C-alpha cells in the first residue's frame, strides 16, 4: 500500500502521508514507531509539520509491513532496514538511556497516562518553564 503510493507519487499531501502511516501501523498492530533524535526537525523541514511522517519514514513502514506479510526473518529485516548492530529488533525498540527516566509534562506534550509512564520506567516529571 505505502510502496505503491510512494512509487506512484513523490508529492503526497500531509493528510495522505498520515493516513498511509496510520494504516501501516494498524496492519502491524503498532500504535507508533519509536521517536528518533532530530525526527521532528526532519519532519518540519520536509512537511512543515512535526507530526507528519517523512518519505523515508513511510518507506521504512512499507518495509516493515512487507516483512510482516512475507514472514521475513529478523536478520533479513535488519538488513533491509540497514540497522547497525542491535542483537534483535526487540532490543532496538526497547533501548533506554542509562539513569532514571523522566517524562516531559509540558502542555504541548498532551495528556499523560501516568500508569503507562510508570510502567515504562518514568520516575519523575519535568516541565520546561523558560524559553531561550
Band of residue 10 on the pLDDT scale cut at 50, 70, 90: low
Band of residue 83 on the pLDDT scale cut at 50, 70, 90: very low
Residue 58: all three cell numbers together: 513511510
User: Using an 8 Å Cβ cutoff, are 28 and 65 in contact?
Assistant: yes
> Over pLDDT 70: what percentage of the chain?
65
- Residues 6 or more apart whose Cβ sits within 8 Å of residue 77: 63, 64, 67, 89
Query: Cα(103)–Cα(49) distance, rounded to whole angstroms?
Result: 23
The more confidently predicted of residues 123 and 2 is: 123
How far CA 110 is from CA of 37, 71, 103, 104, in Å, comes to 20, 36, 12, 10
Q: Where are the domains of the chain?
A: 2-95, 98-132
- Residues 6 or more apart whose Cβ sits within 8 Å of residue 27: 65, 68
* pLDDT score of 91: 56
What's the pLDDT tens digit per position in 49-79?
A: 888 888 888 888 888 877 555 555 555 545 5
* pLDDT score of 99: 75
Query: Cα(87)–Cα(91) distance, rounded to whole angstroms?
Result: 7
What's the pLDDT tens digit per position in 35-46?
A: 777 788 888 898
Closest CA to 95 of 37, 41, 55, 42: 37
Asked which of 91-95, 100-104, 122-126 is least confident by mean pLDDT, the reply is 91-95
Instruction: Compute the average pLDDT of residues 119-123.
Output: 84
Amino acid at each position: 500500500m505505502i510502496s505503491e503510493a510512494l512509487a506512484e507519487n513523490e508529492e503526497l499531501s500531509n493528510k495522505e502521508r498520515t493516513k498511509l502511516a496510520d494504516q501501516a501501523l494498524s496492519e502491524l498492530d503498532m500504535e507508533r514507531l519509536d521517536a528518533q533524535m532530530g525526527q521532528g526537525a526532519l519532519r518540519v523541514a520536509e512537511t512543515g509539520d512535526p507530526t507528519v511522517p517523512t518519505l523515508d519514514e513511510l518507506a521504512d513502514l512499507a518495509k516493515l509491513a512487507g516483512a510482516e506479510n512475507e514472514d521475513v526473518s529478523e536478520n533479513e529485516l535488519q538488513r533491509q532496514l540497514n540497522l547497525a548492530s542491535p542483537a534483535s529488533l526487540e532490543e532496538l525498540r526497547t533501548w533506554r538511556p542509562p539513569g532514571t527516566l523522566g517524562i516531559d509534562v509540558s502542555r504541548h506534550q498532551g495528556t499523560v497516562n501516568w500508569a503507562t509512564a510508570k510502567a515504562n520506567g518514568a520516575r519523575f516529571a519535568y516541565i520546561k518553564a523558560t524559553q531561550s
